[in-house]
Amino acid sequence: MSMSEALAFDSHQFVKHLTDSDFTVEQAALLNGNLATKAAIECLKSDLL
């Protein structure tokens, strides 16, 4: 996948999957809130170098 391609991510489905797997809503929301995009990681990486 090139940098210009977008990947659809359903955060609601992600949280639902986690809560169905015995995570609490709070734990699932915390994990969902800490996701980073590849572009954000690349930006941070370039800032650090």
Alpha-carbon distances, residue 47 vs 4, 33, 39 (angstroms): 20, 22, 12
d(CA 1, CA 4): 8
- The structural domains of the chain, with segments of one domain joined by +, span 11-48
pLDDT for 22: 95
Instruction: Give the predicted TM-score (pTM) of the model.
Output: 0.56
Please give the DSSP secondary-structure letter assigned to residue 35.
Answer: -
Report pLDDT digits (tens) over 16-46.
999 999 999 989 888 887 777 777 778 878 8
pLDDT for 11: 85
